[in-house]
């Protein structure tokens, strides 16, 4: 079994070297698939909800083909994952390789990089340091946040499913939907007693999706999988972990 999760996944990371990001998705996935073909290994490739782009369908089902800008700042990641999905399915059709493709929606939890650049880690770090939480745009864009243990359970379920149980990609994520402004207030209320008082609005980044929510009916029906950890519960161990590491960093 090969779990292929390799690729920078935060905007800060994948925009730093967009060519390398794209090649990680394409060339890296090709290398993994070639190794699997030689060894007859089963492969789980982690794609992303970003393949849906700025969706015109809500919530997003696996059958939706997406609305992606092929030449934008985010395209190295979005289109890189899309081409890697194509490559995975072509290897499956051409060589009979057992490849499972998972489209991961926003995931959070302890041990994320403090400077990760994604919205949950940004807000938690800023709140702990007493900084203003930077909300892009109006904050009305939505996301769905899945706790890391739920995501890991889902990946294992997909990998261990019988051959043919799922054909094509499968969404994994938490379908509970929040605006970015709601997330900011949840983080603030979990770190301090002044929810909503320390928010700064900044311009939107280019091609930022207006809404994101997975349809997980396929995973629920075929794998009996569904997330268990609510955002208000999952944010607490993440905050505690960040407090410990930020404190240690600032002391050093």
Positions annotated as catalytic residues are 77
Angle at 217 (CA atoms; ends 216, 220), nearest 5 degrees: 90
Distances, alpha carbon 159 to alpha carbons 5, 46, 86, 104, 144, in Å: 13, 11, 19, 14, 23
Angle between helices 180-191 and 231-251 (to 10 degrees): 60
* CA 179/CA 209 separation, integer angstroms: 12
> For the chain, how are helix, strand and coil distributed in percent, rounded to 5?
45, 15, 40
Helix H, strand E, coil C: the string for 83-141 is HHHHHHHHHHHHHCCCEEEEEECCEECCCCCCCCCCHHHHHHHHHHCCCCEEEECCCCC
- CA angle 141/75/210 to nearest 5° reads 10
> Nearest-CA neighbor of 5 among 103, 72, 79, 113?
103
């Amino acid at each position: 079994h090969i779990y292929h999760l390799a690729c920078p996944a935060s905007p800060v990371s994948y925009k730093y070297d967009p060519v390398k990001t794209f090649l990680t998705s394409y060339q890296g996935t090709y290398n993994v698939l070639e190794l699997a073909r030689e060894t007859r290994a089963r492969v789980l490739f982690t794609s992303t909800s970003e393949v849906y782009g700025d969706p015109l369908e809500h919530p997003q089902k696996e059958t939706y083909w997406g609305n992606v800008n092929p030449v934008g700042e985010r395209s190295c990641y979005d289109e890189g994952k899309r081409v890697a999905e194509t490559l995975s399915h072509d290897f499956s059709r051409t060589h009979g390789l057992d490849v499972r493709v998972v489209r991961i929606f926003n995931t959070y939890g302890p041990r994320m990089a403090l400077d990760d650049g994604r919205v949950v880690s940004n807000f938690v770090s800023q709140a702990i340091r007493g900084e203003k939480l930077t909300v892009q745009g109006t904050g009305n864009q939505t996301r769905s946040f899945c706790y890391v243990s739920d995501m890991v359970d889902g990946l294992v379920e997909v990998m261990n499913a019988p051959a043919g149980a799922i054909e094509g990609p499968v969404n994994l994520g938490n379908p509970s939907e929040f605006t970015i402004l709601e997330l900011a207030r949840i983080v603030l209320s979990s770190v301090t007693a002044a929810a909503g008082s320390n928010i700064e609005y900044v311009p939107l980044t280019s091609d930022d999706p207006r809404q994101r929510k997975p349809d997980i009916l396929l995973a629920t029906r075929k794998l009996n999988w569904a997330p268990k950890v609510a955002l208000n519960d999952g944010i607490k161990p993440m905050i505690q972990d960040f407090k410990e590491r930020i404190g240690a960093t600032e002391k050093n």
